[in-house]
Amino acid sequence: MDTLNGIAPDGLLGFVRGTSLDAKTRARLAEAVPDEFFTYPGGLTARGHQELTYQRLRRAGLAAPPAPELLDDPPALCALLERAAIADPALFHVMLLHYTLALGPVLRFGAGQDGPRRAREDMESMASFGTLLMTEVGRSNSHLSPRTVARHDPATGGFVLSTPDAQAAKFPTSTAHPRVPKTAAVYATLVHGGREHGVFVFVVALRGPDGAVPPGVRITDAPETTGLQVDYAAVRLDDLHVPYEAWLRDGASIQGAGAEGVFHDPAGSPAARLTRSMGIAPAVWRAVISASAAITRASAGMLLAHSAGRATLGRLAPRRPLTDYRNQQEAVLGALASGYALTAVAVHAQARRTSADAGDGGGPDTAWAPWSAVDRDLALLKAAATTQAQETVSACRVHSGAPGFAAVERLNAYRGLTHAYMNAGGDNELILYDTARAMADLDRYAPPDPGAGPPDGGDLDSPAVWLFLARDTERRMRDRLAARVRAAAGSGQDAFTAWNGNLVLAARTAAACADRLVLEICAAALDAGPAELRPVLRLHALNLLDRRAADLLNEGVAPPGVLDEVWAARRRACDELAPRAGQLAAAFELPAAITAPTAFLDVR
Ligand SMILES: Cc1cc2nc3c(=O)[nH]c(=O)nc-3n(C[C@H](O)[C@H](O)[C@H](O)COP(=O)(O)OP(=O)(O)OC[C@H]3O[C@@H](n4cnc5c(N)ncnc54)[C@H](O)[C@@H]3O)c2cc1C
């Protein structure tokens, strides 16, 4: 297998770069996260480390195009966040919070309002960093119904924000650093005239310019952690008074008719309001999918750098190159292929515009979380991308041996990021369950038509065959899931019992749908992309079929022995790709900081 010194053919480079950004913008975004951000000086305390992360966020924000432009241009914002993710997952996390989850709601829901102007200016100028107070610590699925309330106060016309008890504390939040100014987007249930009117966002200055906390805000630091190193804390609000204009109203109002005024919300119902308030999520999902692709590409490049040219001493064949062994070869090439496939998914996600972008969720009814109601497929692709990245990054870590664990923090940090975002940004399992329920109920979901088949004589090298197998599996699983839930309900079981007995099938059915979407995206990329891409995406498709083999067999879509065929096809794909591994990695244009040998271990 060749090394990282390969020169990527233009076609692959063009595919990875995409066509959305011109060279000048790409260069500007890369310079916003310069090479020095890829490491930290030694000897920092945890707070010192976090302080440097925020200083870098400020530098990046000031060097990048203005925030409103970035939020209007998904490929540009994603490119900035991708670069942050490969440099430093903690920087990615606080940058994502700042742009998409704090400034995003201010610009979107506070449009036309005067009140959030100060918060907006502070965040746009990076004088204050955005943070999110959404999740509550003590109950699962808190996003569906936050217990933090914003009570309208007729005396002042403003609101009083309160945390009813410790269980409703907002956690995790990135608010512990005592000297870092913070502006929070607080998700709270609005109460007016003694009635709850749904979940809205309120903007609150949580820590002033010097980091001081105002009266009414209680911040409890979390212990130091290493998985994704930011300044976690729990936040409680003790009757915090905020002005009417802190309410990011999104067209709602309390006006006229007596001291209390009349509540009006164009969303029409608390359920619709929740979906609208979560309408900032597509920007998060695009970024998380793009970051998943970026750290997968980086991990694949690191694994190739570790593996190429490394000799083995195994007794079967002493001094045989490590990558001559199929296990390592398939790990390296599979990781590269995964990087390309996720890049295709990221391009698709960045280009996708949904009704959520226009302010209305177009998704199905949900039971576990609000996410699928906002955009079922984008939420599902976020779950699929983080799961894939987690799998590939973990495999790269293991196949990089001790140097991949102990010589540099990078692969551990990438793994921490993928793990975190399997919960964060919309919990993957809950997204799968809501997707499965929509599939079973045919709620804005049409089962894919596999057509007659398998086509092309069942040749696993053919994209038509992957699509046939994926679609047929998904359709059969959906039918079985729907029948089982229907039968359970028909026998008198309540909805909880009917679904609870079928959660394994539900999660796998939704995951099958996700795989099918990914394969369709890969097939489209094959049609439109350069010829060099074909064996790469074929390898990824074969790996997906390997992963889904239990379901192919369980549903009778493929006969026993199918795995032997998949493995043989994979060996063929790897034989074709092995001489070009360096070219495949070169097209990722990874900074030297990622793939260079660790200086103190330079034993080559
Ligand atoms: C690193 C990190 C940073 C974060 N940063 C922020 C932040 O800045 N601000 C913020 O507001 N939030 C933040 N979050 C919170 C994130 O949104 C939540 O972790 C996520 O939504 C899951 O909620 P939870 O942690 O309460 O877990 P739970 O809701 O308890 O879910 C845990 C697991 O329990 C199971 N489960 C839960 N409910 C059900 C059910 N009804 N049916 C079946 N199974 C169920 C699922 O397997 C699920 O994965 C962050 C999370 C992480 C990991």
Do 250 and 101 share a domain, yes or no?
no
For residues 299-305, average pLDDT = 98
Distance between CA atoms of 52 and 122, rounded to whole angstroms?
Answer: 19
Give pLDDT tens digits for 126-168. Answer: 999 999 999 999 999 999 999 999 999 999 999 999 999 999 9
Helix, coil or strand: residue 130: strand
State the residue for tokens 């190739």: 304
Q: Is 173 in the pocket of ligand 1 (CB under 6 A)?
A: yes
Do 202 and 324 share a domain, yes or no?
no
Do 386 and 419 share a domain, yes or no?
yes
Residue 213, phi-psi category: left (phi > 0), alpha (psi -120 to 50), beta (remainder): beta
For position 532, what pLDDT does the model report?
95
Residue 10: pLDDT band (50, 70, 90) is confident
Atom of ligand 1 nearest to the CA of 140: 29
**What residue owns the CA closest to ligand 1's atom 50?**
424
For residues 172-176, average pLDDT = 98
Domain coverage including residue 334:
281-595
Angle at alpha carbon of residue 355, lines to 514 and 446, rounded to 5°: 40
Do 262 and 372 share a domain, yes or no?
no
**What residue owns the CA closest to ligand 1's atom 7?**
173
CATH number, domain containing residue 558: 1.20.140.10
Copy the structure tokens of residue 354: 């949904």
Residue 356: pLDDT band (50, 70, 90) is low
**Would you mind telling me the total number of residues written for the chain in this entry?**
604
Q: Is 350 in the pocket of ligand 1 (CB under 6 A)?
A: no
Q: Residue 603 domain-assigned?
A: no
Does the pLDDT value for residue 178 go beyond 60?
A: yes
Distance between CA atoms of 279 and 105, rounded to whole angstroms?
Answer: 9
CB-based contact 64:95 (threshold 8 Å): no
pTM score over 0.95: yes
Distance between CA atoms of 283 and 73, rounded to whole angstroms?
Answer: 10
Copy the structure tokens of residue 230: 């930011």
CATH number, domain containing residue 219: 2.40.110.10
Copy the structure tokens of residue 218: 């209680």
Give pLDDT tens digits for 549-599. Answer: 999 999 999 999 999 999 999 999 999 999 999 999 999 999 999 988 777
Do 243 and 264 share a domain, yes or no?
yes
* Burial class of residue 452 (count of CB atoms within 10 Å of its CB; 0-12, 13-18, 19+): exposed
Do 368 and 508 share a domain, yes or no?
yes
Do 429 and 528 share a domain, yes or no?
yes
Split into its structural domains, the chain has a count of 3
For position 3, what pLDDT does the model report?
57
The alpha-carbon radius of gyration of the chain (Å, integer) is 25
Does the pLDDT value for residue 542 go beyond 80?
A: yes
Q: Residue 244 domain-assigned?
A: yes
Q: Residue 6 domain-assigned?
A: no
Q: Is 507 in the pocket of ligand 1 (CB under 6 A)?
A: no
Give pLDDT tens digits for 555-567. Answer: 999 999 999 999 9
User: Going by C-beta distance under 8 Å and a sequence separation of 6 or more, which residues neighbour residue 596?
Assistant: 305
Give pLDDT tens digits for 483-539. Answer: 999 999 999 999 999 999 999 999 999 999 999 999 999 999 999 999 999 999 999
State the residue for tokens 């975190």: 420
- Identify the domain boundary among 240, 268, 296: 268
Q: Residue 538 domain-assigned?
A: yes
For position 116, what pLDDT does the model report?
87
Do 100 and 241 share a domain, yes or no?
no
- Identify the domain boundary among 212, 245, 268: 268
Q: Residue 382 domain-assigned?
A: yes
Q: Residue 9 domain-assigned?
A: no
Closest CA to 418 of 440, 439, 447, 396: 396
Do 119 and 136 share a domain, yes or no?
no
For residues 270-295, average pLDDT = 97
Pocket perturbation via mutation, ligand 1, pick of 142, 183, 284, 427 by most ligand atoms within 8 A of CB:
427
Closest CA to 86 of 545, 363, 418: 418
Residue 189: pLDDT band (50, 70, 90) is very high
- Identify the domain boundary among 268, 294, 328: 268
Task: Name the amino acid, one letter, at 140.
Answer: S
Q: Is 418 in the pocket of ligand 1 (CB under 6 A)?
A: no
Q: Which residues pair with 237 in a beta bridge?
A: 217
**What residue owns the CA closest to ligand 1's atom 45?**
430
Does the pLDDT value for residue 4 go beyond 60?
A: no
Residue 352: pLDDT band (50, 70, 90) is confident
Atom of ligand 1 nearest to the CA of 426: 21
Ligand 1 centroid, distance to 173 Cα (angstroms): 12
Ligand 1 centroid, distance to 136 Cα (angstroms): 9
The more confident residue out of 257 and 336 is: 336
Q: Is 97 in the pocket of ligand 1 (CB under 6 A)?
A: yes
For helices 463-490 and 533-547, give the axis angle rounded to 10 degrees. Answer: 30
For position 597, what pLDDT does the model report?
75
Q: Which of 2-16, 82-96, 174-188, 332-346 has the lowest mean pLDDT?
A: 2-16
Pocket perturbation via mutation, ligand 1, pick of 430, 431, 499 by most ligand atoms within 8 A of CB:
430
Peptide bond into 75 cis (omega under 30): no
Copy the structure tokens of residue 512: 């099958």
CA 238 to centroid of chain Cα atoms: 32
Q: Is 174 in the pocket of ligand 1 (CB under 6 A)?
A: yes
Do 146 and 70 share a domain, yes or no?
no
**What residue owns the CA closest to ligand 1's atom 16?**
424
Residue 355: pLDDT band (50, 70, 90) is low
Q: Is 355 in the pocket of ligand 1 (CB under 6 A)?
A: no
Peptide bond into 454 cis (omega under 30): yes
Ligand 1 centroid, distance to 221 Cα (angstroms): 19
Q: Residue 236 domain-assigned?
A: yes
Q: Is 144 in the pocket of ligand 1 (CB under 6 A)?
A: no
Do 287 and 259 share a domain, yes or no?
no
Does the pLDDT value for residue 181 go beyond 70?
A: yes
Query: What percent of the chain clears pLDDT 70, i.e. is strictly above it?
Result: 96
State the residue for tokens 């650093």: 177
Do 357 and 263 share a domain, yes or no?
no
Q: Residue 398 domain-assigned?
A: yes
Q: Is 172 in the pocket of ligand 1 (CB under 6 A)?
A: yes
Indicate the average pLDDT of the chain.
95
Residue 108: pLDDT band (50, 70, 90) is very high
For residues 88-108, average pLDDT = 98
CB-based contact 371:423 (threshold 8 Å): no
Copy the structure tokens of residue 600: 């103190």
Pocket perturbation via mutation, ligand 1, pick of 132, 429, 499 by most ligand atoms within 8 A of CB:
429
Copy the structure tokens of residue 570: 């994979």
Q: Which H/E stretch holds residue 200?
A: strand 195-207
